[in-house]
Amino acid sequence: MANTERALKEATTVIEGAIGAALVDYTSGMALGTVGGGKDLDLTVAAAGNTDVVRAKVRTMEQLGLKDGIEDILITLGSQYHLIRLLKGRGANGLFLYLALDKDRANLAMARHQLKKIEAELEI
């Protein structure tokens, strides 16, 4: 799990505007690790809630017959971006990285780029 903690810490320190990050198992809805958050962002609740978002999108793609994979899902709020990146690779099935960003301080394109890089270095 040390690699998970290191990856999440990197996400919250390297990515400008990061508020919090989590590694989530969307089959159970459990956060396997969290960094950041606070009284205004409970990452455990966010992990469980965003599991429903991922499941709904996967189900919709199946119903539409789309054979493509989900790279990431973006939720734009008034003051925040919430980025969900489904993990690929051996041992990563059913997992996603969740990143909450302060909209005023974040560069969304750079955040997506850096989160993809963190995913590539993550060993599960």
pLDDT for 1 equals 46
Question: Helices 2-14 and 108-121, interaxial angle, to 10°?
Answer: 160
Rg (CA), the chain: 14
Provide the whole-model pTM.
0.91
pLDDT for 2 equals 52
Note the pLDDT tens digit of each residue in 65-107: 998 989 999 999 999 999 999 998 766 778 999 999 999 999 9
Residue 122 sits at φ, ψ, to 5 deg, of -75, 130
Note the pLDDT tens digit of each residue in 24-49: 999 999 999 999 998 889 999 999 99
